[in-house]
């Protein structure tokens, strides 16, 4: 999947949801028309990504950020410097268990944060000021037993 965005942030949202999970994908940031930008993973978001978390690789500023969108307003909650080259591919993985969020790039721990704002929502992809390509994107829900009770069906019997 590829996302193009020049002057604003674009989102592609999945119909899949989760609370505690591992979510990862390979992200390639491609320079377009002289622009270097960002691409990343969206999680625990609403259907329009106006509320939820975003992990971004930002090649223009050489940083990895963990942000949260609240009513469409973006707030940075963590950042770590990392040299990011356009046309290089990076494996980005998010582990979320309750309010504990961990971000890895190429299996290296980059960000670890506790945040209680969002505990469940949709998965998605994002791009800003660039063309971002996404490959091998997958998630594995690891929600505990109690959180999965809503998927059960009532059955009568002895």
Question: Could you tell me which of 88, 50, 84 has the C-alpha nearest to residue 65?
Answer: 84
Write the pLDDT tens digit of every residue in 102-122.
Answer: 999 999 999 999 999 999 999
CB neighbours of 19 closer than 8 A, spacing ≥ 6?
A: 44, 96, 119, 120, 141, 143, 147
Please determine, for residue 137, whether its predicted confidence score (pLDDT) is greater than 90: yes
Q: Parallel, antiparallel, or unpaired: how do β-strands 2-18 and 100-105 relate?
A: unpaired
Q: What percent of the chain has pLDDT over 70?
A: 84
Q: pTM value?
A: 0.86
Please determine, for residue 152, whether its predicted confidence score (pLDDT) is greater than 60: no
d(CA 119, CA 100): 10
CA 147 → CA 4, 32, 37, 115, 150, distances in Å? 36, 43, 37, 19, 7
d(CA 130, CA 2): 10
Beta bridge partners of 64: 57, 80
């Amino acid at each position: 999947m590829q996302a193009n965005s020049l002057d604003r942030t674009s989102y592609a949202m999945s119909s899949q949801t989760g609370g505690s999970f591992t979510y990862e994908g390979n992200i390639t940031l491609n320079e377009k028309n002289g622009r270097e930008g960002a691409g990343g993973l969206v999680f625990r978001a609403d259907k329009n990504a106006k509320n939820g978390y975003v992990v971004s690789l930002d090649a223009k500023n050489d940083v990895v950020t963990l942000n949260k969108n609240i009513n469409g307003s973006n707030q940075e909650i963590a950042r770590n410097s990392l040299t990011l080259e356009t046309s290089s591919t990076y494996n980005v993985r998010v582990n979320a268990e309750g309010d504990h969020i961990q971000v890895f790039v190429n299996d290296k721990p980059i960000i670890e944060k506790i945040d209680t704002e969002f505990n469940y929502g949709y998965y998605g992809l994002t791009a800003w000021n660039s063309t971002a390509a996404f490959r091998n994107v997958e998630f594995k829900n690891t929600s505990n037993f109690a959180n999965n009770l809503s998927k059960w069906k009532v059955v009568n019997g002895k």
